[in-house]
A and B are shown apart, each in its own frame.
Chain A
Amino acid sequence: MSTIDPALQSFVRRVHAMMIYRSVLRWSALWLMIAGVVVLGIRFTSDLPGDWWKYLLASWTLLVAIAWYRESQRRPDPKQLRAAFDRQNHAGGLVMAAAEVDTRSWEARSGSLALPSVQWHSGSAWLGTILALVFFITALLVPVKYARLIADPPLEISQQVEDLHEQIDVLESEYILSPQQAENKREELDRIADQASGLNPSKTWEALDQLLHTNEQIAQQQAEDALSKLNALNEASLLGKALEMLPKGLEDQKAFEEGLKQLGQLMNQLNQDGALDPNNLPPELQKAMQQALKQLGQGEGPDAEQLKQLLEALENNQDQLLDLARQLAQKGLIPPNLTDQFQPGEQGGLDPGPLADLLKQHGGDFQELLEQLGPELGGRGDANRGPGHAPLSYGNESSEEGAEFQEQKLGLSVPLEQAKLAGVTITAPEVTGGEAILGQGALNTAQAGGGNALAAPVLPRHRTAVKRFFTRPGVNPPAVPE
C-alpha cells in the first residue's frame, strides 16, 4: 500500500465533511426560516404543542441526514480529488502516478504530504443562518397579542353588536320573537362577533346587515299589525266614548242599542284579530272585559260601569301598542314614517261629543258614519294621509364589486347626409329597437318659433265638424287652420 493513501483518504474525508457542513448550514438557514413561519402560523391560529422542540429537532436531524446523503451522491470523483491533492502538495504528479504505477521508491524522497485545508467562504451563509435564527426566535417569542394583531387586525363592531343585542331583547320582551328564536339570533350574533376580522370586514358587515334587516322586517311586520289593531281599537274606543256620552232618554235608546250592537261587533272582531290581549290588562280589568264581551255577544248592553271598564281596557291596549311602537322606534327597528303613524295626532280626528250627536242622528249606525266621515276620522290608507315625503335615510354604502353596466345595443341610425332636423329637445333620445325614429317624435308637428307642441293635425274627416264648432252662433272663431 502506498504511503500516500492515508493522507489522500484524510483529504477526501475532509472535503466531504466540508461539503456536508456547507449544505447543512445553508439548508439550516432555509429550515429556520420555514420553521419560523410554521411557528408563527401555529401561534397565530392555536397554541404550540408542549413538545414542539422535539419536532424541530427531528426535522433538523432529517435535514442533516438528507444533506449527508445528497453530498454522498455528489461526492467528487476520487481521481479528481487525487489530482487536487497532488497539485496542492506540488507533488509533481507523484500522487497521481501512485494510482497507476508503483511509486514507493519515490515516496520516501517526497517526504510527508501535507493535508490541504478546505476553505469555505461561509460569511454569507452564516449571516443568513443568523438572520434566520433571529427570525425563528422572534417568531417563538413575539407576544401572541401582537402576532395576532398582525395576522388578524380587529374589527370594531362592539357598538353594532350591542345595538343588535338590544333589538333582540326588545323583540323578545315584546313577544315578537320567541325565547328560542331570540336565543338563536343571539348565538348567530355572537358567532359573527367572534369571526369578525379586519382582513375581511365586508363579510362581517354583510352578516350584521343581514341580521339587522331580518330584525327590521320582523319588527316592521309587527308594527304594521299593531298599527292596524290600533286603528281598530281607536274606532272602538271612539264609539265607546260616544256611546257613553249619548243622552239616556227613551228616544235615544234605539240609537244606543244599535251603537252597542256595532260596538259588540267591533269588539268581537278585535277579539278575533287578537287586538284585545287580556295579558296586557290588570286582572280585574280582564274580568270586566270578559264580562262585557260576553254580554255584547249575547246582544246585551253593558251598564255604564262596564262600559267604562271596557273603555279603560281599550285604552290600556292602545297604550300597550303605542308603547310597543315607541320601543321599536327607539331601537330603530321601524322606519320614521311608520313611527309617525303611531303619534296621537294621527288617531282619528273626531271628538266623541259630536260623534255622539251624529250617532243619535243616524240611529247608532256607526259603520255608516265611518263611510261618510272616513277621511275626517283619519282612517289609514287614504291618499291625503301620511307625510308628504319620506325622509332620506342612508345606510352603509353598497359594494361596487362585480357591478357592471348592462350592455345595450343602440339602434342603427340613418347616414348623416340623409338626416333631417326633427326638432330640438332637452330630453335624452329614446332608445328604440333599431328603428329610425325620424318623424315619430313629440315635436314632429311643432313649428319653430311658436305653437303648442301637442297640437294635433285636424284630420279631413273631422274638418267639417271642427268648422261647424267654430262657426256656431255667438262665437267669434279663430282662424281655422287649413
Chain B
Amino acid sequence: MSDSPALLKPAELDPATAITRQICEQMDRCLLGRESLHRLVLTGLLSRGHILLEGLPGLGKTALVRTIGNILQLDFNRVQFTPDLMPSDVLGSHILQQTESGQREMIFEPGPVFTNILLADEINRASPKTQSAMLETMQEHSVTLRGQTRELPQPFFVIASQNPIEMEGTYPLPEAQLDRFLFRVMFDAVDAGVLQRIITERRQGDLPSPNWQASADDLNYLFTVMERIYLPKPVAGYIARLVAATHPNHAEAPESVKQYVQYGTSPRAAIAMGEAARANALLDGRPTVGFEDVAAVAKPVMNHRLILNYQARFDRVDASRVLTDLLEELNETGLELPADVSLQNA
C-alpha cells in the first residue's frame, strides 16, 4: 500500500468542496429552480468537458452560461450559429494589414472561440463545414489556421445548445462531434412555483449579480483536487462493463440494448464517465468514487452517444429508457449471488 497514490486528506478536500458548494449556491441564487442542472453543469466543467444543452428557447440556456462565466470569472463569448456562419467567423481569420514599416502582412484576428467559455447557440443550425471546424477546438483546445496552431485559453469549455423543434433547415450534429461533448443535458421547463418566483424576483428577466466569485486560484485548486479523486478498481470495472454492455452483442447487454441499440458507446464515453464520476464525488465531498457517482452521470454521458436502430424509433423508445434498463439490470459489483438471495441495508 506504500506504493499506492496517497488519498486526499480531509483537510485537502474540504476547501475544494466548500468552493464547489459556493459555486452551486451562487448559481442557484441567480437561476431559480435549476439545482440539479447546475450541479450537472458544474460537474461537466470540473471534468473539463463540453456540454450540449438541449431545450426549447427561453429556458435560460444563455443565462446559465453567462452566470457560470460570471461566477468563475471566466471570459465568455456567445456565437449564434446560423446556416451562413463560416468557420472563420468562429475560429478567426487572417487579414492583410500594413505594418509600421510599411510592409503588408497577414495578421491573425482571433475569433470568438478564443475565450474560456464559448456558448454555441443553436449549433445544429450551422453548416457541417462550420460544425466540423469546432472539432479541433473541442478535442485539442487549439486552432490551426494556415499551418499555425494556436492554443486556446485555459480552461476552455464549449457549451452548445440546440433546439429540438424547428428542425427544418438544420444540420444534426454528426456522431463524431456529438461524441466530443461530455454531457448532453436536457433543459426541461420549470414548474409553476419557480415561474412565480421568476416573475416576482426577476423584473425584465435581469439576472442578479453573484455576491461571491471564484478566483482563478480557486478554479486551479479545484482542478488539482480533481486529479486526486480516487477511482477504485471495482468502480472502474463497473464503468468498463457499463460501456461494454451498451453494445448489443455483448454478453451482459440487457434485452433492451439488444433490441434497440445499433451501436454502443465509444471508449471516450468510459473516459468521460470516469472523469464525471470523479467530479460528482468532489461535489459530494468524497475522496473516492462510488457506484452512486457513476449512476449519477451515466445518463448524461451516454444518452447522446448511443445510436438506436429503427425499431427503437418505431417503438418510440429513446436512449434514456434504454439506459435506465441498463443501469437497473447491470450489477454494479459483479457479485453473482443466487437469484433468491439479496443484500439489504441493515
Q: Which residues of A are interface residues toward B (Cβ below 8 A)?
A: 15, 18-19, 22, 76-77, 79-84, 86-94, 96-97, 99-103, 105-106, 109, 114-122, 124
Contact = CB atoms under 8 A, between A and B. Distances in A.
A92 B333 contact: no
A87 B291 CA distance: 7
Contacts of A109: 10
B1 A105 contact: no
9 contacts: A80-B334, A83-B332, A88-B344, A88-B345, A92-B284, A93-B286, A115-B346, A119-B341, A120-B341
A92 B335 contact: no
A22 B338 contact: yes
Interface footprint category on B: 35 or more
A116 B233 contact: no
A121 to B, nearest CB: 5
A76 B231 CA distance: 22
Contacts of B291: 83, 86-87, 93
A162 B97 CA distance: 138
A96 B345 contact: no
Given A76-B337, A102-B1, A102-B7, A96 B235 contact: yes
A122 to B, nearest CB: 8
Contacts of B146: none
B7 A105 contact: yes
B77 interface: no
A101 B284 contact: no
B232 interface: yes
Contact of A81 (B233, B235, B335): B335
Contact of B290 (A77, A90, A101): A90
B288 interface: yes
Contacts of B4: 100-102
A117 B335 contact: no
Contacts of B281: 92-93
B346 A97 contact: no
B290 A92 contact: yes
Contact of B234 (A15, A82, A114, A117): A82
Contacts of B344: 88, 116-119
Nearest to A2: B1
A84 B343 contact: yes
Contacts of A19: 338, 341
Interface string B251-294: 00000000000000000000000000000010010111111110
Interface in B291-343: 291-293, 332-338, 340-343
B7 A103 contact: yes
A115 B297 CA distance: 28
Nearest to A115: B346
Given A80-B335, A100-B1, 5 more contacts: A89-B345, A93-B235, A99-B232, A100-B233, A122-B340
Given A90-B292, A106-B7, A97 B341 contact: no
A407 B294 CA distance: 81
Contact of B346 (A77, A116, A122): A116
A99 B230 CA distance: 12
B6 interface: yes
B203 interface: no
B193 interface: no
B162 to A, nearest CB: 34
A360 B68 CA distance: 163
Contacts of A102: 1, 4, 6-7
Contacts of B289: 92-93
Interface of B: 1, 4-7, 9-10, 230-235, 281, 284, 286-293, 332-338, 340-346
B335 A97 contact: no
Contact of B6 (A82, A90, A99, A101): A101
A117 B7 CA distance: 30
A106 B342 contact: no
A94 B1 contact: no
B335 A84 contact: yes
A125 B233 CA distance: 37
A86 B334 CA distance: 13
Contacts of B233: 79, 96, 100
A93 B343 contact: no
Contact of B342 (A76, A79, A90, A119): A119
Given A80-B333, A101-B5, A118-B341, A87 B10 contact: no
A253 to B, nearest CB: 120
A392 to B, nearest CB: 72
Contact of A94 (B6, B288, B332, B334): B288
B336 A86 contact: no
B7 A79 contact: no
Contacts of B343: 84, 88, 116-119
A114 B340 CA distance: 22
A338 B235 CA distance: 103
Nearest to B2: A102
Given A80-B334, A105-B9, A87 B290 contact: yes
A100 B343 CA distance: 24
B226 to A, nearest CB: 15
B288 A97 contact: yes
A114 B6 contact: no
Q: Which residue among B284, B333, B340 has the maximum number of chain A CB atoms within 10 Å of its CB?
A: B333
A115 B346 CA distance: 6
A83 B338 contact: no
A80 B290 CA distance: 14
Nearest to A105: B9
Contacts of B10: 105-106, 109
A80 B7 contact: no
Q: Which residue among A22, A105, A118 has the maximum number of chain B CB atoms within 10 Å of its CB?
A: A105
Contacts of A83: 234-235, 291, 332-335
B331 to A, nearest CB: 9
Given A22-B341, A102-B1, A102-B7, A117 B232 contact: no
A100 B9 contact: no
B77 to A, nearest CB: 37
A97 B345 CA distance: 20
Given A81-B335, A120-B340, A96 B7 contact: no
B24 to A, nearest CB: 18
Contacts of A94: 286-288, 290
Contacts of B346: 88, 114-117
A122 B336 CA distance: 18
A22 to B, nearest CB: 7
Contacts of B345: 88-89, 114, 116-117
Contacts of B342: 118-121
A22 B338 CA distance: 10
Contacts of B5: 101
